[in-house]
Structure 1
Amino acid sequence: MKHSILVAITYLVLVGVTSAQDFPVTIDHKFGETTITAEPERIVSVGYTEQDDLFALGKTPIAVRPWALPVPHGIWPWAEAAAGDAEPVVLSSGPLDFETIAQLEPDLIIGIYAGTTREEYDRLSLIAPTVLQPADYVDYATPWEEQTRIIGRAVGKLDEANTLIADIKKRFEQAREEHPEFEGNTVVAAYYSNGQAGAFASGEPRSRFFTELGFVIPEVYDELAGDAFYTAFSLERFDLLDVDLLVWYWGELESDDILPLRRTLQAHQDGREVILTPQQRFALSFSSPLSLTFALDELVPELADTLK
């Protein structure tokens, strides 16, 4: 027990984090650093997933930026319990509405899963302290636990954030122990769009869900993606999707131009193919402590059945 406490204290010293109650807090990101002088109360989320982390930490955002499918107040089913009766303003899912954001008078803006440009950051930081993704990751590829930890520091709830992360890590560990058949099998998080097939890179949250379960992402997807979080390739290279477990995120998969190609894949012929429902797809896209709980409950049994 004493050893565990000593390890925890040493870790906190080495990484230089502040305790949950200490302000000011300075957070480094891809365009520099942002200092938050006091615990924020009026938080605007301009990223597409950060509202989940805020709800999970008991901090209700005053505005959120929705992602694709419309849901009331940007609150997906897995976040409803944590959100309670919250009704944040729903911003545009397209270009940032700087005027509306300014009118809301936030004391913190969070945009980690946002792909924010330098120009956008400069304008947002004139409104309020703005926290973006770390410089170490390409747009939309910050690990979910890193995002949760950053948000926890920004809102004065680092301890709670670390607890959320530890709980989800335990869920993944339990799933790996219960399903050793996952270990080492190759997987692809794939899609089909506009006459091209594609796959998400290994660092992208949608792929990391599977690597956390013990699956392996073939290196070819990272090589093709380069500095992006995904890759697209012509249908002539459709064979790149022939892996042990083929997971489809979206696409008209029964259409005349794609179905014949799917039938050429051994994964399809053997039934090692999973087509995600919209809720499953967005749960993995969010990859938050709330949505990952939902995804683990839904998908682990389905993946196990598919690999039988």
Structure 2
Amino acid sequence: MNTTKTYRYGVSVFLLFLVFLSSPLFARGGGERDLDIRLIGSGEAGMTIRHMLGETTIPDDPRRIVVLAEEGLLLDLIELGIKPVFSLANEPADIALAEPDELEGIQITRSAEGISMEDLVNLEPDLIIGHEFFVERGGYNRISRIAPTVVVRSDDPAEAFIQTAMIFGLRDEAESSVEDFRTEFKRAADSLAGRIPSISVATVYPGANIALWYRSDVPVPSQLEALGAPLRPGDEIWGTLRPRQGRAFISSERLDLIDGQILVLLQSPFLEGEMEDLARLTEDPLWQTIPAVLNDRVIIMDRLGYPGFRGQRRLLAELVGILEVEIRK
């Protein structure tokens, strides 16, 4: 049976089977950005900013910050030296790229469960920061009566990092980090130009639901495309697949569409049944006809393993390493 290379947190292991934005992140250069958060005033009460759901005055030196978003925003705050008292996460017991001491003292709840308004009040927040989906789910007007509430965009990790920093007067530091990353990214793309084999990116969800990724905001296919990887299937096929948000579902009878020289599988061990269904699918004779499977060029990556701006930097390092190995084959 073919072995499969699995990557998470910079570690590669060999397994017999597997045990969720095109991003403008890499295209934007210097100059004034069209940010969703803007400073509109400053006074004794604090800095007032405008964001996508309203205007909010940020208290000076907030100490009880609540995060109504998943681990990407949490890690951005930690990266900025700010520790909230509460956050949501996909899997509280296993937050990628976070050290135990960074999470110490933070109450973390599974995002699928959310938080009740009563529990939110009991946290006694002096500032609430969140992504639009989670804030609107609870009702922005209701939540903002509990504490000043700011909504940060979530589709572009670099811009989200800068906007989060702006809330705390740290925009210059964040922009410097982002520009350094973009310089590093361009250097990597230039080095890999014209050398990357064709790549298919897919996910096998529970129930053996197979999705192909292409021109997506999801970190792995987004970075691969920005690095210049030829993603398969190409435009001539993709338009027929009725994609939504950079993803199209196919049946097992159409595994022939996974025709890249390399297959990158984006999987998560936290969805019940996903590992088992992937293992079963790999025993299907049609799976064995996939070119990357035949040539032992299947790579499994954690689709929840690269949250926030910290995740973008780690992902770049991992992808460059993976691609350099594959290019030498």
| Alignment TM-score, normalising by the size of structure 1 | 0.75
Deviation at 1:115, TM superposition (A): 5.1
Deviates more, 1:57-66 or 1:243-252: 243-252
The corresponding residue for 2:258 is: 241
| SS, match of residue 285 in structure 2 | helix
Give the equivalent residue in structure 2 for 1:282: 304
Q: Could you tell me how far apart the structure 2 residues matched to 1:229 and 1:121 are?
A: 28
Question: What corresponds to 1:3 in structure 2?
Answer: none
The aligned residue for residue 312 of structure 2 is 292
Check the 8 A contact 2:58/2:167 in 1, yes or no: no
Summarize the alignment of residues 152-167 of structure 1 with structure 2, pairs less than 5 Å apart.
Answer: 152-167=165-180
* 2:226 matches 1:212: yes
Q: What does 1:134-173 correspond to in 2, within 5 Å?
A: 134=153, 142-173=155-186
Pairs within 5 Å for 1:124-135: 124-134=143-153
Shift of 1:50: 0.7
CA shift, 1:192, in A, is 3.7
**Following the alignment from structure 2 to structure 1, what is the Cα–Cα distance between the partners of residues 264 and 239?**
14
Contact 2:135/2:143, CA 8 A, preserved across alignment: no
Contact 1:199 1:221 in 2 (8 A): no
Q: CA deviation at 1:257?
A: 6.4
Q: Secondary structure of 1:55's partner?
A: helix
Change (3 A) 1:116 1:185: farther
Contact 2:49-2:56 within 8 A present in 1 as well: yes
For residue 242 of structure 1, give the secondary structure of its aligned residue in structure 2.
coil
Q: Report the AA paired with residue 282 of structure 1.
A: L
Q: 1:118/1:88 Cα in 2 relative to 1: closer, same or farther (>3 Å)?
A: closer
Q: CA 1:117/1:13 → structure 2, altered by over 3 Å: closer, same or farther?
A: closer
Q: Which residue of 1 aligns with 2:68?
A: 46
Q: Kindly indicate whether the alpha-carbon contact (under 8 Å) linking 2:203 and 2:265 is maintained by their aligned counterparts in 1.
A: yes
Q: Deviations over 1:265-303 (max 9, x none)?
A: 122223332112xxx44333x1x2222333333332123
User: Could you say if the C-alpha distance between residues 33 and 255 of structure 1 is closer, same or farther in structure 2, counting changes exceeding 3 Å?
Assistant: same
Report how far residue 133 of structure 1 moved. Answer: 4.8
- For the residues of structure 2 that align with 1:133 and 1:18, how far apart are their CA atoms? 13
Match of 1:305 in 2: 325
1:105 aligns with 2:124: yes
Aligned residues: 280
> How far apart in 1 are the matches of 2:239 and 2:148?
36
User: Are 2:200 and 2:262, in contact at CA under 8 Å, matched by a contact in 1?
Assistant: yes
**Offset at 1:63?**
0.9
Between the aligned partners of 1:243 and 1:118, the Cα distance in structure 2 is 39
Structure number with the higher helix fraction is 1
Decide whether aligned partners of structure 1 residues 290 and 14 sit closer, same or farther in structure 2, where only a CA change above 3 A counts: closer
Cα distance change of structure 1 residues 185 and 132 upon mapping to structure 2, 3 Å threshold: farther
Q: Distance in 1 between matches of 2:223 and 2:283?
A: 26
Higher RCO structure (Cα 8 Å, ≥6 apart): 2
Secondary structure, in 3 states, of the residue corresponding to 1:303?
Answer: helix
Name the SS for the 1:65 alignment partner.
strand
Unaligned runs of 5+ in 1: 1-6, 135-139
Matched, 1:260 2:274: no
Q: For residue 163 of structure 1, report the CA deviation from its aligned partner.
A: 1.8
- Shift in Å at residue 221 of structure 1? 7.7
Percentage identity across paired residues of the two chains: 24
The 10-residue stretch of structure 1 (250-259 or 202-211) with the greater mean CA deviation from structure 2 = 250-259
Partners of 1:25 and 1:183 lie apart in 2 by: 47
Amino acid in the other structure paired with 2:224: F
Residue among 21, 34, 37 paired with 2:58? 37
Change over 3 Å in CA distance of 1:13–1:90 after alignment to 2: closer
Does the aligned pair in 2 maintain the 1:36–1:154 contact within 8 Å? no
Instruction: Give distance in 1, aligned partners of 2:150 and 2:240.
Output: 27
Distance 2:249 2:156 in 1: 22
Query: What is the CA deviation profile of residues 68-101 of structure 1, one whole-angstrom value per residue up to 9, with x for unaligned ones?
Result: 3623xx5x4x3329x6474211124323213222
Q: Kindly indicate whether the alpha-carbon contact (under 8 Å) linking 2:210 and 2:251 is maintained by their aligned counterparts in 1.
A: yes
1:151-204 C-alpha deviation (Å, 9 max, x unpaired): 112222111221221222223223223323455844424334312101345232
Which blocks of at least 5 consecutive residues in structure 2 are unaligned?
1-28, 268-273
Alpha-carbon shift at residue 258 of structure 1 (Å): 5.5
Q: When you count strand as a share of all residues, which structure comes out higher?
A: 2
Map Cα deviations across residues 38-74 of structure 1 (whole Å, 9 max, x no partner).
Answer: 3443221121121110011111111111213623xx5
Distance 1:272 1:27 in 2: 48
228, 244, 249: which one aligns with 1:232: 249
